[in-house]
Amino acid sequence: MTTFLTPQQHADRTSAAVAAAVAAGRGLGLSIAEPTVLHDVFSVVVHLAPAPVVARIPTVLPRPVDLAALAHRQQDELDVTRWLADQQIPVIAPSPLVPTEPVQRDGFSMTFWPFVEEVRDKEPDYVANAESVADLHAALRTYPGRRLEFLSAADPQFIADSLARLDRHPDLIGAAELDRARREWHLLEPLVRTRGAFEARFPGVDVQPIHGDSPPANIFHAVDGDLYADFELVTLGPVEWDLAALGPEHEAAYNRGARRNGTRPLDEGVLAFVNALGMLRVVATLTLVPQLPVLMEYLKPAVDHWRATPFAAGMSN
């Protein structure tokens, strides 16, 4: 049976991440007296008060943790957000008080961001957010960076490894569902692994830098205005990936924004692909539940929805 992290072990992990961030921040010259945890889900996000700096320390990660690969992704996020800010795009950019690079300390890899005051009582308007994502994509089209990898946000190796291991966890997923997931992955994997295979399947669909992690849900409501945030999974890919699993209303909103920008609308075939791929990533994320047991509350409804949908979102060979 699966062994789940206990509340005490979770608290110890959080404390270790905070201690590492404080030590790293002080090593960079920050004055830190009252570190305050702002969020603690996949990452520990801690305000290094009184310094106006926030450290984000990923803690729920595939095992074994590859700190070098994590730092590579973190550097991509720092570079892209710094560039967007230089283009006057409303984004949470890296803190100017420390070097713009990941810092590794005590087995953690972390990044540093400015502390931004949040409007906590504002309800997100995800439809309006989806329309604004077309503006973000228009800006990202000219990003000059060359490090971004094709659909790294989908993390195909994580999906493959997770689907290979999940039969050891029958309390997380049933045998029939796991068999379906593996058959879907057999169909989708070639299109994720290589850009050439994707472009052959979807001719004429361009690939560009994209946010990578549902940007309509990652807009930060700051007191001075909304800011694009959380580019941890920034990648090269079709713009449809950023709208995966959001549904027709959000897709229509994005298309309104695309028409305003003179960019292409969403492609229905690619939407089916990214929706199927996104659901497989949800299934693969079940392997992280032992590290974050509360995660099952969020994943179970998504897995139930996937079970009721057509195989591979209706895609065929």
Domains of the chain (ranges; CATH) run 33-115 (3.30.200), 123-317 (3.90.1200.10)
pLDDT for 1: 63
Q: Which stretch of 9-13, 100-104, 106-110, 142-146 has the lowest confidence by average pLDDT?
A: 142-146
Task: Report, as an integer, the average pLDDT of 222-250.
Answer: 97
Q: Is the pLDDT of residue 173 over 90?
A: yes
User: Model confidence over 41-88: pLDDT tens digits?
Assistant: 999 999 999 999 999 999 999 989 999 999 999 999 999 999 999 999
pLDDT for 15: 98
b/e burial code for range 194-224 (CB count within 10 A of at least 16 → b): eeeebbeebeebebbbbbbbbbbebbbbbee
> 3-class secondary structure for the chain?
CCCCCCHHHHHHHHHHHHHHHHHHHHHCCCCEEEEEEEEECCEEEEEEEECCEEEEEECCCCCCCCHHHHHHHHHHHHHHHHHHHHCCCCECCCCCCCCCCCEEECCEEEEEEECCCECCCCCCCHHHHHHHHHHHHHHHCCCCCCCCCECHHHCHHHHHHHHHHHHHCCCCCCHHHHHHHHHHHHHHHHHHHCHHHHHHHCCCCCCEEECCCCHHHCEEEECCEEEECCCCCCEEECHHHHHCCCCHHHHHHHHHHHHHHCCCCCCHHHHHHHHHHHHHHHHHHHHHHHHCCCHHHHHHHHHHHHHCCCHHHHCCC
pTM: 0.95
The neighbouring-strand residues paired with 249 are none
pLDDT for 220: 96
Task: Report, as an integer, the average pLDDT of 176-185.
Answer: 98
From 244, 216, 241, select the one nearest 230 (Cα to Cα): 216
Task: Report, as an integer, the average pLDDT of 14-27.
Answer: 98
Q: How many CB atoms lie within 10 A of CB 265?
A: 15
Task: Report, as an integer, the average pLDDT of 184-210.
Answer: 97
pLDDT-derived band of residue 177, with 50, 70 and 90 as boundaries? very high
Task: Report, as an integer, the average pLDDT of 240-263.
Answer: 96
Q: How far apart are CA 33 and CA 128, in angstroms?
A: 39
Name the percent of the chain lying above pLDDT 90.
Answer: 95
pLDDT for 122: 83
3-state secondary structure of 175: helix
User: Model confidence over 120-170: pLDDT tens digits?
Assistant: 888 899 999 999 999 999 999 999 977 899 999 999 999 999 999 999 999
pLDDT for 121: 84
Q: Which stretch of 4-8, 120-124, 179-183, 306-310 has the lowest confidence by average pLDDT?
A: 120-124
Q: How far apart are CA 197 and CA 191, in angstroms?
A: 5
For the chain, the average pLDDT equals: 96
DSSP strand pairing (103-105 vs 53-58): unpaired
Phi, psi of 96 (to 5 degrees): -80, -5
Residue 46 per-residue DSSP state = E
Task: Report, as an integer, the average pLDDT of 224-238.
Answer: 97
Residue 40 per-residue DSSP state = E
pLDDT-derived band of residue 2, with 50, 70 and 90 as boundaries? confident
